[in-house]
A and B are shown apart, each in its own frame.
Chain A
Amino acid sequence: MIETGDEVEVRKGDRVYRGIVMPRHIFSDKNMLVIKLPSGYNMALDRRKCEIKILKKGGTRKKQVKPVEFDDSKPIVALLGTGGTIASYVDYKSGAVHPAATAEELTFAVPEIFQICNVEADVLSQKLSENITPADWQRMARRAKKYLNDGKPVIIAHGTDTMAYSAAALSFMFRKLPSSIIFVGSQRSSDRPSSDAFVNLMAAVRVALADMAEVAVVMHESISSSRVAIHRGTKVRKMHSSRRDAFVSINAPPIGYVKGEKVVLEGEHKRRSGGKAVLKAGLEKEVALVYYYPGMGRDEFEAMVNGKKGVVIAGTGLGHVGEHLIPEIRKLTRSGIPVVMTTQCLWGSVNLNVYSTGRKLLRAGVISGYDMLPEVAWIKLMWVMANESNVEEAMITNIAGEISERREIGDFVK
């Protein structure tokens, strides 16, 4: 049986090629044999048209792992891996990208990190971030608590797709933090020389070690690699599918930035303190997030909220839905199901006093989500319903920096 990594000789017509068998690309034709030639190029041959001879079985190659020495003079940072490609390295033979599972493997990816701290690497999961669930947030939080209570700030390496969701969730769950939980990711995987992973990760370490105790996302500020922004976990959103500077603080300025070795904390932030972390990880998972669109029918709306114990609506403009849905909403609130209104505009606040539809929604019992991002309000409602007695009161109270009272002219990216 021919396996990936085997050295083979392939005879096609009167030609003979030698190379190493490579894994097949998912879109590759099923009859293709892909071999890496001595030149480094991959070559695909139709198996049916050639004769293949194994010269040497590939077997598994042993990794060369250099032990990392613990340095007493440096602080310790916990690095939790959840998946994603921030701390990974490439197998040039197969092209596969492997995550760094231990501190030793991290040295392959980001050796510089050990110049400023000791790293306790801990792989929590191997998930693409689109597969992460609220249950994973709870696991992340519990593991983070363990390290925080040991006096180690936590960095969570996370896939970027849902990183902002996880950051928001942990922001609500931790009612007290002795030091920071820093989420970090990369928009270009770390197997590429141009990866933003190294700059982001190094910045994350510096922020984790700074005098701050917040849940934050640390990612490129612009497409240049000179500055990295520190975003509050409840205000940050991925606003671009591919750019390095995809993460943006919305309706609030970022907490600060990192430039080279310097961490600048300009915005409001809690300082580090002694003491233990207070974690309330409970979540009410039956909460719907409904994105309103023109012409959404009553039955559609009903189907989306059916069986839910709480509802967050991403409404239009200042926080509206078609008036025909108001009776449905009233039905929900009357039966004790909280309904929170946010805006699809993302930028700016909900205000239900301005137009008649807004006023009617208020009368129907809708709770204003102010300038909370729809998904942040959704996570908050899940958390509030599991941890607070007065849901409405809690939803309109700023718990973790999720509601800003004022928005300055500069707080808008066009």
Chain B
Amino acid sequence: MGIDYEKLGFRAGLEIHQQLDTSKLFCSCPSVLTDECTATFERTLRPTASEMGEVDRAAREEAKRGRKFIYLASSSSCLVEADEEPPHEVNREALETALIVALMMNAEIMDEIHFMRKIVIDGSNTTGFQRTALIAMNGEVDGIPIESICLEEDAARKVGEEKNVVKYALDRLGIPLVEIATAPEIKSPKHAREIAEKIGLLLRATKRVKRGIGTIRQDVNVSIRRGNRVEIKGVQELNDIPLILENEVKRQLELIEVAERLKGKEEEIKKAKVMDVGDVFKNTECRFIKKVIEKGGTVMGIKLPGFAGLIGGVKYKEHRLGREFAMHAKKMGGGIMHSDELPAYGISNEEVGKVRKMLKCGMEDAFVISASSKEIARKCLLAVKERAMQAVNGVPREVRRALQDGFTEYMRPMPGAARMYPETDVPPIRIRERELKKLMKMLPEHPEEKMARIASQYRISREDAKQIVYSGRDDEFEMLASKYAGHSKVVARILLHILPEIRREGYGEVGMEKIDEILHGLSRNYFAKEAVEKLMHHMAKNPSATLEEAMKKCGVRAMDEEEVRKEVRKIIEDRREFIMERKMNALSPLMGVAMKSLRGKADGGMVSRILKEELQKFLEVN
């Protein structure tokens, strides 16, 4: 059954983060990821209160977790990434790229660029904030308004997490990112994918962005009527977007349904208390709980009034509230089990009954238990309670993380605007008209226009032209297709089909020089275009092979003696007068002429032998 997104009041926006292909934004470190580690250090971060005593919501929640961060330094980081030296002046090349992107999207560029500090205290920035600047506003891509174009620093790369300690590599920290945010005017999950693709294409058209896994990240925000705005971070693949959005819509529908059934229960939920129910499990068969109790831990429980049947899923089981509870508990370092899924995991029906009795659960009530140290179990259940209270109001505004399977999990509450303040260590940058005029002249061809032009100029299909532009092989294509006019279809086939096939087979890349050599051979009619594929594969498998060897090995037919003799006779006939004058001295100049037309088709030694024989014959006769 398809979902009618329009009827649900579906609204989605995209935030695309693209790494730029230049050194870091505020220092000269290379933007290269590495596994080496030259030094480590350890920090904590804390939220800082504003004058009004306000602490950002998201920051406060993170601070509650009290985590410690270990940073791994390498040759891709310096004192700036370690937050041991102030940022240097902004990378001009990165700024220029951001301006080019803004111009391509027809956006209004700021008269002056001001970097801000956006508070992020999950450790992914050593400073506790991300430096970000608004470059332009009010652009447009394919009919969708672009609300903002920002230039910012990428975060550190998480490489490990254990209990309360998170490890980050500093190599990625500070790589310049362009962030494109669309208005929430995207109509459907499929539409979102299309727009993301268009934006990606535009970014790549600058030829100044990084390519490959992890260099572009998509965040999507989505809401439906009676739901709420939810931001989903880190969608890696374009193809994942529709599924993730569809799932989010279902999740919101599920939560709306749960809220509907919880009406009037708010006060009761507020009163719920966390209790120690460890006594129930003294002789439990549940191996996990047994272990926890042996280690001196216990089982804590909380009653959730009115939640019976709602935790395990109502409309969409896979988007059950239980998943949300579990994630909130996980953030506090523990796990949970709830009455909708019990008895299970070795917990008996009798034990369930005892817990119900202890917590005074009625028919309509559910309970959640957590086994761990008393303190952690308590924290987990308080987090569950907090989430349960939100369930009354339906969908909480929050930030979620995209998972591989198209699902998402809770990350943090939606941060407020309170978390931004000026980065005073970086002077503002005036953007002048003449600078923009200069950039206007450097703007790359719009991808759509480029597709149309390539198709008509080189007489290839629209589809091939599109593929060439999408794959970013447009420069290579144009170079080869104009050099070997008349063979543009072969060039397209090489770039779009043969090379990817070779890559799939796991062989090394066939370099441009090799491709050029093959096309040269083709243009000289050394072989038919049908042989190109075979030759390419041979040369991929045998990187040191010359074209001649490849032709021989592939049985791409070179000329035989008779054909060579025929060609040589023709050359001699054509130069009759010259030969009569020079006699045998004509041999050397004629060899040059012969080789010019026979190189690659026949062995030089054979050509020389045949030419000598034929020349003697000719002179004997004439």
Contact = CB atoms under 8 A, between A and B. Distances in A.
Contact of A198 (B46, B111, B127, B137): B46
A27 B427 CA distance: 6
Nearest to B417: A40
B48 A91 contact: no
Contact of B127 (A45, A193, A225): A193
Interface of B: 41-54, 59, 79, 82-86, 108, 110-114, 116-119, 121, 126-129, 132-134, 137-138, 148, 150, 416-422, 424, 427-428, 430
B599 to A, nearest CB: 64
A98 interface: yes
Contacts of B47: 193
B43 A15 contact: no
Contacts of A63: 51-52
A338 B417 CA distance: 62
Nearest to B181: A39
Nearest to B150: A41
Contacts of B46: 193, 198
B128 A95 contact: no
B421 A194 contact: no
Contacts of B112: 28-29, 32, 34, 44
B136 to A, nearest CB: 10
A193 B138 contact: no
Nearest to A27: B427
B165 to A, nearest CB: 12
Contacts of A46: 111
Given A192-B128, A194-B127, A242-B84, A95 B424 contact: yes
Given A40-B118, A40-B420, A41-B148, A194 B108 contact: no
Nearest to B423: A95
A32 B43 CA distance: 38
Contacts of B150: 41
A92 B420 contact: yes
30 contacts: A15-B108, A25-B422, A25-B428, A27-B428, A28-B114, A29-B428, A34-B112, A34-B114, A38-B417, A39-B420, A40-B417, A41-B116, A41-B134, A42-B116, A44-B113, A44-B114, A61-B51, A64-B53, A91-B50, A92-B420, A92-B421, A95-B421, A193-B59, A193-B119, A193-B121, A195-B48, A225-B42, A225-B44, A242-B86, A243-B84
A28 B430 CA distance: 8
B152 to A, nearest CB: 11
Contacts of B108: 15
A244 B138 contact: no
Contacts of A198: 46
B148 A39 contact: yes
A119 B50 CA distance: 21
Contacts of B416: 40
A89 to B, nearest CB: 6
Contacts of A45: 110-111
Bin chain A's interface residue count. 35 or more
B195 to A, nearest CB: 20
A27 B90 CA distance: 14
A239 interface: no
Contact of A89 (B42, B51, B59): B51
Interface string A216-242: 000000111110000000000000001
A40 B150 CA distance: 13
Given A92-B420, A226-B42, A243-B84, A190 B428 contact: no
B126 A194 contact: yes
Listed from nearest, the 3 A-B pairs whose CB atoms lie closest are: A193-B128, A40-B420, A44-B112
Contacts of B114: 25, 28, 34, 41-44
Contacts of A272: none
A292 interface: no
Nearest to B418: A92
A236 B421 CA distance: 35
A194 B420 CA distance: 15
A93 interface: yes
B84 A192 contact: no
Contacts of A32: 111-112, 428
B59 to A, nearest CB: 7
A280 interface: no
Given A45-B111, A193-B59, A243-B79, A40 B419 contact: yes
Given A15-B108, A44-B114, A192 B48 contact: yes
Given A38-B417, A192-B127, A61 B48 contact: no
A222 to B, nearest CB: 7
Contacts of B83: 188, 194
Contact of A225 (B43, B110, B420, B422): B43
Contacts of B49: 89, 108-109
Contacts of A109: 48-49
A191 B48 contact: yes
B50 A89 contact: yes
Contacts of B43: 194, 224-225
Given A39-B148, A63-B52, 18 more contacts: A29-B428, A38-B417, A40-B116, A40-B118, A41-B133, A41-B148, A42-B420, A44-B114, A92-B54, A93-B51, A95-B422, A188-B83, A194-B126, A194-B127, A194-B128, A222-B41, A224-B43, A242-B79
A191 to B, nearest CB: 6
Contacts of A64: 52-53
Contact of B53 (A25, A29, A108): A108
B48 A190 contact: yes
A98 to B, nearest CB: 7
Interface string A47-67: 001000000000001011010
Nearest to B132: A41
A103 to B, nearest CB: 15
Contacts of B42: 224-226
A113 interface: no
B80 to A, nearest CB: 10
B41 A224 contact: yes
Contacts of B48: 89-90, 109, 190-193, 195
A111 to B, nearest CB: 8
A207 interface: no
A247 to B, nearest CB: 14
A92 B430 contact: no
Interface in A228-266: 242-244
B127 A25 contact: no
Contacts of A41: 114, 116, 132-134, 148, 150, 420
A22 interface: yes
Contacts of B116: 40-42
Contacts of B422: 22, 25, 42, 95
